[in-house]
Structure 1
């Protein structure tokens, strides 16, 4: 009966089709338009909580206004769109189902004219117009169904489930690359319709390539979700010519100066207000605490938590707010919500602060119905300034005894931040300056007292080379 039910489910899934708004072709989907819109409405608050919204109403209005204009000339102008600038220094933009598009302040700092911004937003609208995110949801569900069906129908295939998932993942990378190429086409199409110069959108891919650099661990292009930026530049340059001819655009606009004036003063890099790393220590100047995370671990900070992991991904350490009114209540909620077993508990004190320590583990059911230990970890819940904070370190059972002292050392380093220089640290910002005399970009940087160690960073930020001649009166970006 179970086998029949799964096959029936797959049959039902494959009979659900809709017409793609861009291609006009019928395609399999597992989500109606109303479901797609509802998914976006549900995801938006989570994305805002994870990244934070950049607190500048003028920039928010500017990006949303441009986005709405581009949405009106897209293949799906019938659905509502929401455009937000999120408070992240990562150079990125992304879309989720239901018309929600997010632009980071990081990418705004690296764009050099409004035509580039229009191209980026148009690209993300393209993902929604072609329902790429809906197709990704479909592919993930079908992949899962295929693996489950195979395992249930033939239990001997259970051991291949993991390798099947990896194979499906590589297939999804190919879908992702095709989607990116199609969105490049649509981004050039939509931005050119509004009179923008899509050649500038292509040029931005060169900036992306320069900013990412050539790293030894970089995926080769054929295994990358996004096509190589250099190849995308060439492709978009061709598209720009085609669409300018198609729409008879003889004088496409860049709006460089007006764009630069719009982003004057935007925060650049990590914003200390949300916490920052300095010489191996994490400081939070607004909440006024500090702690020392595991040395050499990779770091990610968001409004909800700060987390660290070694490069091999074998462990995780994070700090965030705890749920509950008391230490005991927060500890119990953590154990229950995550279906953990508390192996040891103790009331402790950390640098004069009351805390509750827990050694925990989690079991995982095996294919034969038995349970096996899946992970072990250590958690400290700390009471500080009438708030509860939780630190968690987790790894595999075999690695726990080795990493437990590392977790404990970091957790016991949590304390009040009182150093005024750390509390009052200000973020760097992009400042728009006017070049007074025609000279090389390197000489321009010297005239603004930019440190030599940051010359290349400024060159990438302004999409020029150090030996590029900069005419008098040109607006440029300086980090201050």
Structure 2
């Protein structure tokens, strides 16, 4: 059995290596290692895009989305892969982030758009993300991951002990590729400078945005380490990108665009800031969803993570979880049957029931996973035309400990009638024209800004609290 498995795996390895495509690097013109064809690269991005949208949701602002897309398409046209079809999306997340998938899919969070203070900053970061696509960094990393998995597979067959330390081996592999990833980030910085400079943007403003990233890292409890990050240290990037910007402006006939900071600020006036309570929030151990008009209790001291696709709650010991999501089926019983079939669950008991007058179906079951047997309590509840699903799960041994907690959450599902919760609105970035000059701290206090948020708003404005603000300048406030 061992020899047959090893032979099959080695044959698979030969097949993988035989399919290696030494494709052209669009940036250097040289051949580059890649297991993924360009058509596969595009297909990978196309397949992953709906998952990204489901996880984060799209930000509902057609004008802002069109604005971001317009800048992205302009930069794509001056890149080394202008014929690739690019898709640019604004996702509904407060996290300050931008990222790209293989095949031309580029995403900006509303959080990062709120923190930009000029179109040039946006264009520089956009160029950086398009650089990842042009240089096929995602495809390269995917190829390396395939070889890494092949190596781990051999190790798992050869040694039982290797399985016990495979987590360490995976960390080692990630550290091996970490330096290469930082090299990719540096290459994308260079491409971001090149593309934005060709369009007349001052790429030194992208360098300045790295100062914002560094301040956000500091504000979050500690500086991003230089040698254990997939991104270079923000301070180092700021210096290097500023140097590259000067070099590129001298290298080409540089004609600077006429830009005004207030034009960008007007584009983001009203953008949601921080978590959006309309998509769900927790207050006094109750989760409220104003848009979908439901609520349910949250166990005390359990962590909760809310996304457009699911709500997940986990206990402090991290050995029990409750997941809430939309189900599929024409009725609670049909949705339960679909779950049992797809999960190959062994039903212990099930019954039709009602939850606060709503039709429901309760199922207790066991599901065999690769490493364990999970014991689940599930509720399928119909509200209007939607079927909502709760799954509470833990190990067989711990199920008696958490069964009552699971059930209390699920039978607590109810119509949201609390008017204060229904009317809860998000904080938004508002753009204000300064009427009286002063340092930023004094100006912000003039807009009734709380003392505890002054530093946060200074970062949001790309300034320090001591910076002088002139009458007629525009600043961001949050309310």
TM-score (norm 2): 0.91
Distance 2:222 2:369 in 1: 32
Contact 1:51 1:88 in 2 (8 A): yes
Count residues with an aligned counterpart. 474
CA pair 409-229 structure 1, distance change in 2 beyond 3 A: farther
Pair 1:302 & 2:321 matched: no
1:7 matches 2:6: no
Who is 2:383 aligned against? 384
CA deviations over 1:248-286 (Å, ceiling 9, x no partner)? 437466542211111111122222332222343221112
Q: How big is the shift at 1:391?
A: 1.3
1:359 Cα offset (Å): 2.7
Q: Give CA-to-partner distance per residue, 1:97-129, whole Å, 9 cap, x none.
A: 110111111111111000110011111101101
What pairs with 1:391-470 in structure 2 (closer than 5 Å)? 391-470=390-469
Match for residue 331 of structure 1 among 319, 333, 336: 336
Unaligned regions of 5+ residues in structure 1, if any? 366-371
Is 2:88 the counterpart of 1:89?
Answer: no
Q: Structure 1 residues 399 and 172, CA, compared in 2 at 3 Å: closer, same or farther?
A: farther
Deviation at 1:383, TM superposition (A): 1.9
CA-CA distance at 1:154 after TM superposition: 5.7
Q: Does 1:109 align with 2:128?
A: no
Which deviates further from its counterpart, 280-289 or 355-364? 355-364
C-alpha displacement at 1:64, in angstroms?
A: 0.5
Residue 222 of structure 1: SS of its match in structure 2?
coil
**Deviations, residues 158-210 of structure 1 (Å, cap 9, x unaligned):** 44444323322333433332222221221122111111111111111221222
Tell me whether 1:179 sits opposite 2:178 in the alignment. no
8 Å CA contact retained: 1:184, 1:236: yes
1: CA distance, partners of 2:317 / 2:82:
44
**2:81 is matched with which residue: 76, 85, 108?**
76
Give distance in 2, aligned partners of 1:395 and 1:174.
38
CA change 1:230–1:379 in 2 (3 A) is farther
More moved, 401-410 vs 316-325: 401-410
The answer on whether the counterparts of 2:217 and 2:224 sit within 8 Å (CA) in structure 1 is: no
2:50 maps to what in 1?
45
1:353 to 335, 355, 358: 358
Q: CA deviation at 1:330?
A: 1.0
2:270 counterpart of 1:265:
yes
Relative to 1, partners in 2 of residues 1:294 and 1:191: Cα closer, same or farther, differing over 3 Å? farther
2:227 equivalent in structure 1: 222
Using the TM superposition, name which of 89-98 and 310-319 deviates more.
Answer: 310-319
1:119 to 124, 145, 148: 124
1:157 CA drift (Å):
4.4
For 1:8 and 1:122, locate their aligned partners in 2 and report how far apart those are by CA, in whole Å.
41
CA contact (8 A) 1:14 1:28 kept: no
Q: Distance in 2 between matches of 1:72 and 1:185?
A: 17
1:215: Cα distance to partner?
5.2
The 5 A counterparts of 1:360-379 are: 360-364=365-369, 373-379=372-378
- Residues 218 and 444 of structure 1, relative CA distance in 2, 3 Å threshold: closer
Measured after TM superposition, the shift of residue 216 of structure 1 is: 5.9
Deviation at 1:313, TM superposition (A): 4.7
Residue-by-residue CA offset, 1:367-398 (whole Å, 9 max, x unaligned): xxxxx733333222112234210112223444
1-structure distance, mates of 2:196, 2:80: 13
Distance (Å, rounded) in 1 between the aligned partners of 2:396 and 2:171: 24
Residues 61/290 of structure 1: CA separation in 2 closer, same or farther (3 Å cut): same
The counterpart of 2:156, out of the listed 141, 145, 151, is 151
The Cα RMSD (Å) is 2.4
Contact 1:200–1:254 under 8 Å retained in 2: no
Change (3 A) 1:268 1:34: same
Between 246-255 and 413-422, report the one with greater CA deviation.
246-255
Separation in structure 2 between the aligned mates of residue 170 and residue 275 of structure 1, nearest angstrom: 37
- Cα distance change on mapping 1:163 and 1:65 into 2, 3 Å: same
Query: CA–CA distance in 1 between the matches of 2:221 and 2:276?
Result: 29
Give the whole-Å Cα distance in 2 for the aligned partners of 1:298 and 1:175.
35
TM-score by length of 1: 0.91
Aligned position for 1:368: none
Map of 1:164 onto structure 2: 169
2:214 and 2:223 in contact (8 A); partners too:
no
Deviation at 1:222, TM superposition (A): 1.9
Q: 1:201 to 1:78 in 2, by over 3 A?
A: same
Corresponding residue for residue 208 of structure 2: 203
